[in-house]
Structure 1
Amino acid sequence: MARLAILPLLALGAVLVAAAGGLPRVGDPESPAATHVSPRYIARGYEETGATNLVTGVLADYRAYDTLGETTVICAAGLACWLILGGRSRGVGP
């Protein structure tokens, strides 16, 4: 039975390795994100966002929904850890 369970894992690993071959290299200046989106952010970011810091303008204006989602996930994870590890008083209940 254990041998049968390892076959899907090997298949999944092969698919992931094959898919990783199509990803751009880390820091590649010719990757799609660097060639299509970044130049526009750099060229028009200050005027469109009104921010004095371009990174803040991108995170708070262009990528606001992503930033809100990431913040929500981090807060939910922190709340879950707090509830699991220390949410109960020491002398109350089981």
Structure 2
Amino acid sequence: MKQILIFLALGGMLAIMISSFMQMPPMGNPDNPSYNEVAHHYLERSLDETQAPNVIANIITDYRAIDTLGEATVLFTSIAAVLTVLSGKDKKPDGGGVHHG
């Protein structure tokens, strides 16, 4: 019964994914959401607004700085968590109850 529910859930997610894909505009269509005024604004005005010639660096450090800081924070936290788990020591009590002293 559990496997049937899992397959039904996965099938439902697949149906949602396929229906979403079918509603997407075709590649290269000027009506795509990726072709909007933000990209044109970055390309046309980044030199005047940031005084730096590298448009990609301007987008990352000036326009999207908070987003980049958030991504760096998530990466740092995940690395710290993994290192903490991997460096943990298995603390087992001394066996047998024999005390030397």
Query: How high is the TM-score relative to the length of structure 2?
Result: 0.72
Stretch of structure 1 that moved more, 61-70 or 31-40: 31-40
- Which residue does the alignment assign to 2:91? 93
- Give yes or no for contact 1:29–1:35 (8 Å, CA) kept in 2: no
Residue 36 (structure 1) shift? 1.9
In angstroms, what is the RMSD of aligned CA positions? 2.2
Structure 1 counterpart of 2:10, one-letter code: L
Q: Measure the CA separation in 2 of the matches of 1:29 and 1:74.
A: 35
Residue aligned with 2:35, SS = helix
Structure 2 counterpart of 1:68, one-letter code: L
Structure 1 residues 23, 72: CA separation in 2 closer, same or farther (over 3 Å shift)?
A: farther
Residue 21 (structure 1) shift? 2.6
Structure 1 residues 19, 29: CA separation in 2 closer, same or farther (over 3 Å shift)?
A: closer
Show structure 1 runs of 5+ residues with no match: none
Q: Measure the CA separation in 2 of the matches of 1:24 and 1:60.
A: 31
Show structure 2 runs of 5+ residues with no match: 93-101
The percent of aligned pairs where both chains have the same amino acid is 30
Structure 1 counterpart of 2:37, one-letter code: H
Q: Measure the CA separation in 2 of the matches of 1:25 and 1:82.
A: 44
Q: Measure the CA separation in 1 of the matches of 2:72 and 2:25.
A: 27
Query: How high is the TM-score relative to the length of structure 1?
Result: 0.77
Structure 2 counterpart of 1:9, one-letter code: L
Q: Measure the CA separation in 1 of the matches of 2:24 and 2:72.
A: 27
